[in-house]
Chain A
Amino acid sequence: MIEIEGLTKTFDALVAVDDITLTVRPGEVLALLGPNGAGKTTTVRMLSAILKPTAGYARVAGYDVATQGDEVRRNVGMLTEAPGLYSRMTGREYLDFFGQLREIPTPERRKRIHELAEWFRMTPDANQRAAGNHKGALDRRLGEYSKGMAQKIALIRTLLHDPPVLLLDEPTSAMDPASARLVRDTIAQLRNDAHRAIILCTHNLPEAESLADRIAIIRQGRIVEQDATPALKARLLGPPLMEIRLAQASQNGVVALIERTIASNGARVQDAGDSWVRYSTPDPAVTNPAVLQALAASGVAVMTLSEVTQSLEAVYLRAVEENV
């Protein structure tokens, strides 16, 4: 659905995007992470055929971004970094305008606007209707919208023509938690569509982790890491980290016992306290039962054994720092 090969963009002497290669298959969400100015927006602009690549090649929904820009734009829904609305239009007029530019026939356009507005809770609710207020947010001037509402309208604009490729730049920025949750649910639902490919640019790492099938980290225009989240964690943060919490503190010899038990599996004790020990192991399925058995045989009571969650943030920071 999205194939990128050696894509490069330069502005005079500045290399904004440097030889990136990526693939996003139908039904997949790729999160593009990176610091400000890393080249995310430039990449997305090239994929939506707004900017022409200086070198390399990108095919979106089967169309070449350099030579078939009109077709690419027809098949892409792009949520821009800033909503950039026309403040003197109402929400409905604004969506109608973009629907017309997308050549959606009138009845279908109206139906789509209504459906999406309802989904994003922008139509009057039952209480408002009962009170005689039939005008929802959609009939207010866009200049009166809050940041979150503006973002919702921009998202509806992006989804209006039901595009097979979605490029979402910071979709939940400026949204309150409830609205952000709604947007995340929407993306999750869109992901279920086996025909749709989504690229999600975000600084919200938990969001990326929960929504994306794969992560690509971009720094100074280059993709420095890309893989599924667990694989990235394993590669950058090492093997899974396990933590044993003991029922009683200050038990001598426990660390040495665990070290002896796990040494043959390539695992290592990383840290220890009075009543806890942390060890990393490439194969928890083998190591963990062995450790529990050894501790039980020695009469050490174990309260819990669990994996220490390693966040995507740690992965991201490691990737970015390693490539400085």
Chain B
Amino acid sequence: MTSEAQATTTFSAPSGASPGWQRLRSAWFPVWVVLRREIRDTLRDWRIVVPIIVLVIGFPFLANFAASRGMAFVNQYGAALIMERLLPFLMLVVGFFPSSFSLVIALETFVGEKERRSLESLLATPLTDLQLYVGKLLAATIPPVLASYLGITTYLLLMGLTLNWWPPLSLLLVSMTLSTVQSLVMVSGAVIVSSQSTSVRAANLLASFIIIPMAFLLQAEAGLLLFADYTALWLIALFLVVVNVLLIRLGIRVFNREQLLGRDIDELNLRHALSVFWKATWPRNGLKALYTREIPAIIRGMRPELLITMAVILVGGLTVGVWGMQHFPLPVEAFGMAEIQDIETIGSMVTQSGLLASFSPWAIFGNNVRALLIAGGVALISMGVLALLLLMAPIAIIVYVVGQIGGVGFNPWLFLAVSVLPHGIVELPAAILATAQAMRMGDVILSPSAEGGGLDGILREIGHFVKLFVCVVLPLLLLAAWIEARITPHLLLNFLGR
């Protein structure tokens, strides 16, 4: 045993290495050490390796068999195109399955170590939070991505050899990109779940919040593949890249070695939870204080979300609307402007469009309330992103319709002023407020407890959402619905009369 303390030995760099290289090496070497250990550990676990092998080798055979039988069946009716369009979808599925199974690796990343009580000794090393997180993230990412590629390669080889089907390069590129970014998004999400969960069981339960949206996305991709709409698929890939960057950034921000060890029990204290929710929801000092202090305080607290919401819906809505205008112009007849002679016709046109059951203030109100409540719900599982998209959609539709109106000879600004502005001036702020608060609820899920996150934080923000919704959004939506049903049609008739 030596007696001299020599704790700060440094790792030797190659001779002649520059200080920059040494810094880079000393920053990345621990990441590499963690990554290598994790990968080696994964590859030694037969419970992970065997199913992945089955999925990357066995499943492509099954997909190939289904494709061959399907092809033979549709060929009997001369509908080979249907199957040809489904073959790329099978390729995506073959890539998706092994990567979704590999989620167990990502879900175990932190919380598994915590349960096996090996985490503390790792946290006691000089690894920085960033090095530890990045090392674990990469280790959880590489196996699913490789498994996904391997599955797709096996499938393609089988398809080429048995059906002589080779995908065009553009399709292959978009499919591989989608498989990669889907795996990355799932893993990034799962690593966050793992670093914030108290047990593997809790992490597995939360994993459904990753798998379910991705499964829906896969179905959407199937539809796009059926129509061979590769541009939309590239847009989805781009969207997933953005989501992935956001997830990685969030994961690093909320990663906290202290909390990894600090929280031990999955205990739900219902009384405490209700008390937090109630305090955030119920007005504390009467109606006057509610509107002069409490609600302004909530709105002040969500200033960043308000700014993001306004920026995204305006820029996104305008972009999508203008893009739609340019790509899908409608013929003049589509508007049926000549048919609009009275209020009843407007009402029946709206009901025939399927947007509303009846053209009344209550129907409009009910529809808007439902949409904003859905936005609130989906915000919780998408960090607020889906709430933004939901609000962006009507803005894009308005831009699209107004643009088309301009194209058929009407004054688009005047149309906007009479058909949207009167109720929009009331409805839009209500929708922006609800969406911004919905986004805040999504944000708070991934915030550390020390920064207002955790279960208390979520319940508090849901309480604020309820308060804002009942006291501000609902009255505004009611007013907007009344204007839309009772005043806007008259203005529209006058506009058409001009």
In the complex, the answer to whether B7 meets A164 with C-beta atoms within 8 Å is: yes
Q: Which of A48, A82, A86, A97 contacts B124 (CB 8 A)?
A: A48
B117 CB-CB contact with A under 8 Å: yes
What are the residues of chain A within 8 A of B121 when measuring CB–CB? Answer: 78, 80, 84, 98, 154, 157
What are the residues of chain A within 8 A of B26 when measuring CB–CB? Answer: 103
In the complex, the answer to whether B125 meets A195 with C-beta atoms within 8 Å is: no
What are the residues of chain A within 8 A of B2 when measuring CB–CB? Answer: 162
Among B6, B12, B45, B118, residue most surrounded by chain A Cβ atoms (within 10 Å): B118
Least distance between A39 CB and chain B CB atoms (Å): 14
Contacts of B69-107 to chain A: CB distance below 8 A: none
Least distance between B31 CB and chain A CB atoms (Å): 11
Task: Place the interface of chain B in its size category.
Answer: 35 or more
In the complex, the answer to whether A11 meets B262 with C-beta atoms within 8 Å is: yes
* Complex-state Cα separation, A78 to B120, whole angstroms: 9
B302 CB-CB contact with A under 8 Å: no
B333 CB-CB contact with A under 8 Å: no
Least CB separation from B34: chain A residue: A101
Q: Which of A11, A84, A102, A189 contacts B116 (CB 8 A)?
A: A84
What are the residues of chain B within 8 A of A50 when measuring CB–CB? Answer: 120, 123-124, 257-258, 261
In the complex, the answer to whether B1 meets A189 with C-beta atoms within 8 Å is: yes
* Complex-state Cα separation, A88 to B34, whole angstroms: 15
In the complex, the answer to whether B33 meets A51 with C-beta atoms within 8 Å is: no
What are the residues of chain B within 8 A of A248 when measuring CB–CB? Answer: none
What are the residues of chain A within 8 A of B257 when measuring CB–CB? Answer: 50
In the complex, the answer to whether A73 meets B125 with C-beta atoms within 8 Å is: yes
In the complex, the answer to whether A195 meets B5 with C-beta atoms within 8 Å is: yes
What are the residues of chain A within 8 A of B124 when measuring CB–CB? Answer: 48, 50, 73, 76, 78, 80
Q: Mark A19-57, 1 if CB is under 8 A from B, else 0.
A: 000000000000000000000000001001011100000
* Complex-state Cα separation, A24 to B95, whole angstroms: 58
Least distance between A78 CB and chain B CB atoms (Å): 4
What are the residues of chain A within 8 A of B19 when measuring CB–CB? Answer: none
In the complex, the answer to whether B41 meets A89 with C-beta atoms within 8 Å is: yes
A190 CB-CB contact with B under 8 Å: yes
What are the residues of chain B within 8 A of A186 when measuring CB–CB? Answer: 1
* Complex-state Cα separation, A93 to B40, whole angstroms: 11
B18 CB-CB contact with A under 8 Å: no
Q: Mark A160-177, 1 if CB is under 8 A from B, else 0.
A: 011110000000000000
Among B1, B12, B125, B127, residue most surrounded by chain A Cβ atoms (within 10 Å): B125
What are the residues of chain B within 8 A of A115 when measuring CB–CB? Answer: 1
A108 CB-CB contact with B under 8 Å: yes
* Complex-state Cα separation, A116 to B1, whole angstroms: 7
Q: Mark A82-117, 1 if CB is under 8 A from B, else 0.
A: 111111110001000110111111001000000110
A218 CB-CB contact with B under 8 Å: no
Contacts of B334-391 to chain A: CB distance below 8 A: none
* Complex-state Cα separation, A179 to B494, whole angstroms: 97
In the complex, the answer to whether B5 meets A162 with C-beta atoms within 8 Å is: yes
What are the residues of chain B within 8 A of A108 when measuring CB–CB? Answer: 9
What are the residues of chain B within 8 A of A159 when measuring CB–CB? Answer: 1
Least CB separation from B120: chain A residue: A80
Least CB separation from A108: chain B residue: B9
Q: Mark B106-150, 1 if CB is under 8 A from A, else 0.
A: 000000000011111111111110000000000000000000000
Least distance between B216 CB and chain A CB atoms (Å): 36
In the complex, the answer to whether B262 meets A100 with C-beta atoms within 8 Å is: no
In the complex, the answer to whether B9 meets A161 with C-beta atoms within 8 Å is: yes
B37 CB-CB contact with A under 8 Å: yes
A203 CB-CB contact with B under 8 Å: no
In the complex, the answer to whether A86 meets B11 with C-beta atoms within 8 Å is: no
What are the residues of chain B within 8 A of A81 when measuring CB–CB? Answer: 120
Residues on A close to B: CB < 8 A?
11, 45, 48, 50-52, 61, 70-71, 73-76, 78, 80-89, 93, 97-98, 100-105, 108, 115-116, 119, 154, 157, 159, 161-164, 186, 189-190, 192-193, 195-196
- Given contact pairs A73-B126, A80-B117, A101-B127, enumerate 15 new A-B contacts (beta carbons under 8 Å): A48-B124, A73-B124, A75-B7, A84-B119, A86-B118, A93-B40, A97-B37, A100-B33, A103-B126, A105-B11, A105-B12, A159-B1, A186-B1, A193-B3, A196-B5
